[in-house]
Structure 1
Amino acid sequence: MSTRRWIPIASVALLLLPLATPSHAWNDFGHEVVARIAWQELEPEVRSRVLELFRQAPRDSLMHCLDLNQDRRRGCGRFAYRLGDAESSEDADRILFERAAYWPDLARQLEKYNRPTWHYIGWTWRQGADGSAHDTDLPVPEPNAVSQLVELARSVADTSGRPGKRAIHLAWIFHLVGDVHQPLHAASRVTERRDEREGDRGGNGFALDDWNRNLHAFWDGALDARFRARYKQRTEARFDAPSDWPPPPDQFWRFFREARDREYERHKDRVAAEARARHPLDDAVRANLKSGDFEAWTAESNRIVRNALYPPDLKRGEAPSGAYAERAYDVSLQRAALAGYRLADLLTNLLAP
């Protein structure tokens, strides 16, 4: 009979710290939660069409590196990070579906595919002394997330287009639907500070403490903040060790990477399930899908920023309060659920037989 033991992993917390590194846009965790919710809502025929397109992406896009059914041994680097292993072909399909939502951030290192201005829309606003929000007359640069979603949807719907191009554009749709539901991708606060006279770049200019970095990064990681905090504290971070612990020396780091990946997947399962449970796709939500109305989706995020993201107790150079962090999690959970439902609806409209 095998013996199961709990092994503390505080001693390898440094290995796990990549989970805590803020990224661009909603981080990989947030984008994958949105995609997980969409996956669960889609009919099998639409899933298959999505996967068929992704598997026709150009080789130089490295999208094949996200596919556990393909050879990923050479040249993948960070593109293959934290993919883990698939227990079945359906598992591999789901992982590709979810990871593709993060591909545009991975592609920042590929000059041919990097599109920095597509990730957000720079709607600027000023905050009055009483906290009230006021529009500015600053122009909104293009291309931006909203303008590109319109073009990308048109491209993916055109079945006469090149499959490789449509695959890239489909990954961008996955990503941008997530982005425009992260509030700080839809607003930029103008202040009298020299570096914020044209906006704070979606909170990137609002520095917090060393752990959170800035307000944008804080909101990027709101969905997995509790998970990352476990490793920051380096306490209670444990995994279920196999009976053959300790592993052979040449397997040691692979063992810990796999433990980290398993816990990451479990937490993603929990957050996606919580989002769906707290914000189910009921009649009221269906009526609010605003199918394909990208500007309306983004305007919702803009209103959230203007109404709630810069309260008086939020201070530069300090960590947000516990109450603020809880609100951020609750808002992000609702936005992720809605993004997942809207992504599924959009994919159905674009790709259904």
Structure 2
Amino acid sequence: MRRLTIALAAALLWPAGQALAWWDEGHMQIAYVAYKKLTPAARDRADALLKLNPDYSSWIAGAPAGQEKLYAFVHAATWPDDIKMKTDYYDDQVTDSTARQLVPYGHLKHAYWHYKDTLLSADETPLPRPDPVDAVSQLKLMIAKLPANSDASDALRSYSLSWMIHLVGDLHQPLHAIARYSAALPDKGGDRGGNEVQVVAANGEKLPLHFYWDRIFGGYSSVFGAIRDADQDSGLSAVAPDAGKAQIVDPATWAQESFELAKTVAYAPPVRADKQPAELTREYETNARETARKQAALAAARLANLLEALLR
């Protein structure tokens, strides 16, 4: 409960538009399951790149002997969210000339890199033009830079990997692939992926729909806690992803899948298209948890397959 309270408090204080996905627990569990699937050679190459991240020493602080590489990889999954709280990293806009640029550890937060909003009108409310820079556009650039035979420096490859581990998880959270507009929410951003839509969970807590989905795996976590939770009998390690889907390593396809799940599961009744709170049903919450588990397991498998191919 303490971890959840801390995460929810942090989310409520977060600047508008800077959404988290899966919170620490979800991202770390995805990274952990992915790491277990990598070959030793791919793990070593990933670790060599992550060592160039300026936060590497803090990632491995307190790691059990022999587990430093694992702890670094798992902790790296939260780095693009962690920098949002760093005083030496700065807000920027999707319209800036630097929005597309991959600058190794260049101190910009790039909050708009965390999602790919396909726009949806709930009631024929006019839609604006989608943002030109998003999680899909940037992840494709990072994928192109990661191989050793690319024209990228090791610093750029390190930066790309630090973001990739996180963004694969982001794109499998359905509400990071959609923005729904309605007469009640017609302005730029619409409902911001459910951030402007209120729901009431089974425990009576009222919170934004986006937060409800982000916290399905828990909130703030240590690496040890995330690994423990993933390895529990009913944890993420026990979820078998669809083998065929796991081979799909196209970020645009991932985003489209998440968009469809947002429409059919995340926005399913009783969720409303306005700001009036909706009391979630047992059926909704069961479907949400099962969908989240399947998406996280798929994200872990796809991350492993992608890195195995790129880190040869």
Q: TM-score, normalised by structure 2?
A: 0.79
What does the per-residue CA deviation read over 1:276-333, in whole Å, with 9 as the maximum and x for residues that have no partner? 43324xxxx3322353311011100000111122233235335523332221111010
**Residue in structure 2 matched with residue 163 of structure 1 by the alignment:** 154
**Could you tell me which amino acid in structure 2 is paired with residue 153 of structure 1?**
I
User: Is 1:115 equivalent to 2:110 in the alignment?
Assistant: yes
Q: How many residues align?
A: 278
User: Is 1:143 equivalent to 2:103 in the alignment?
Assistant: no
User: Is 1:321 equivalent to 2:281 in the alignment?
Assistant: yes
**Residue in structure 1 matched with residue 208 of structure 2 by the alignment:** 214
**Residue in structure 2 matched with residue 98 of structure 1 by the alignment:** 74
> What is the correspondence of 1:220-235 to structure 2 with a 5 Å cutoff?
220-224=214-218
Q: Secondary structure at the match of 2:192?
A: coil
**Could you tell me which amino acid in structure 1 is paired with residue 192 of structure 2?**
R
Change (3 A) 1:98 1:319: farther
**Residue in structure 1 matched with residue 258 of structure 2 by the alignment:** 301
**Whole-Å separation in 1 of the counterparts to 2:4 and 2:170:** 25
**Whole-Å separation in 1 of the counterparts to 2:261 and 2:5:** 30
**Whole-Å separation in 2 of the counterparts to 1:136 and 1:34:** 37
Deviation of 1:136 (Å) = 6.7
Q: Secondary structure at the match of 1:86?
A: coil
**Could you tell me which amino acid in structure 2 is paired with residue 223 of structure 1?**
F
Between Structure 1 and Structure 2, the one with more helix by share is 1
Deviation of 1:66 (Å) = 1.4
Change (3 A) 1:216 1:16: closer
**Whole-Å separation in 2 of the counterparts to 1:344 and 1:279:** 14
Q: What root-mean-square deviation, in Å, do the aligned CA atoms of Structure 1 and Structure 2 show?
A: 2.8
User: Is 1:268 equivalent to 2:221 in the alignment?
Assistant: no
What does the per-residue CA deviation read over 1:4-34, in whole Å, with 9 as the maximum and x for residues that have no partner? xxxxxxxxx7688425556512211111111
Q: Which runs of 4+ in 1 moved over 6 A?
A: none
**Residue in structure 1 matched with residue 28 of structure 2 by the alignment:** 32
Could you tell me whether the CA contact under 8 Å between 2:231 and 2:237 is conserved in 1?
Answer: no
**Residue in structure 1 matched with residue 14 of structure 2 by the alignment:** none
**Could you tell me which amino acid in structure 2 is paired with residue 217 of structure 1?**
F
**Whole-Å separation in 1 of the counterparts to 2:302 and 2:174:** 16
**Could you tell me which amino acid in structure 1 is paired with residue 135 of structure 2?**
A
> What is the correspondence of 1:250-265 to structure 2 with a 5 Å cutoff?
265=227
What does the per-residue CA deviation read over 1:131-180, in whole Å, with 9 as the maximum and x for residues that have no partner? xxx89753221210010011011111254522222111111111110000
Could you tell me whether the CA contact under 8 Å between 1:291 and 1:342 is conserved in 2?
Answer: yes
**Could you tell me which amino acid in structure 1 is paired with residue 31 of structure 2?**
A
Could you tell me whether the CA contact under 8 Å between 2:74 and 2:223 is conserved in 1?
Answer: no
Could you tell me whether the CA contact under 8 Å between 1:126 and 1:135 is conserved in 2?
Answer: yes
**Residue in structure 1 matched with residue 43 of structure 2 by the alignment:** 47
Change (3 A) 1:15 1:327: closer
What does the per-residue CA deviation read over 1:246-273, in whole Å, with 9 as the maximum and x for residues that have no partner? xxxxxxxxxxx9xx886554223228x6
Could you tell me whether the CA contact under 8 Å between 1:118 and 1:143 is conserved in 2?
Answer: yes
Could you tell me whether the CA contact under 8 Å between 1:184 and 1:202 is conserved in 2?
Answer: yes
What does the per-residue CA deviation read over 1:201-258, in whole Å, with 9 as the maximum and x for residues that have no partner? 1111112359452011111111238xx9xxxxxxxxxxxxxxxxxxxxxxxxxxxx9x
**Residue in structure 2 matched with residue 64 of structure 1 by the alignment:** 57
Structure 1 or 2, whichever has the larger Rg, is 1
Could you tell me whether the CA contact under 8 Å between 1:34 and 1:178 is conserved in 2?
Answer: yes
**Whole-Å separation in 1 of the counterparts to 2:69 and 2:301:** 19
**Whole-Å separation in 2 of the counterparts to 1:50 and 1:154:** 16
Could you tell me whether the CA contact under 8 Å between 1:124 and 1:187 is conserved in 2?
Answer: yes
Q: Secondary structure at the match of 1:307?
A: helix
**Could you tell me which amino acid in structure 1 is paired with residue 210 of structure 2?**
H
Could you tell me whether the CA contact under 8 Å between 1:203 and 1:215 is conserved in 2?
Answer: yes
**Residue in structure 1 matched with residue 63 of structure 2 by the alignment:** 86
Change (3 A) 1:22 1:336: farther
Q: TM-score, normalised by structure 1?
A: 0.71
Structure 2 gaps of 5+ residues are 12-19, 91-106
> What is the correspondence of 1:308-347 to structure 2 with a 5 Å cutoff?
308-314=265-271, 316-347=276-307
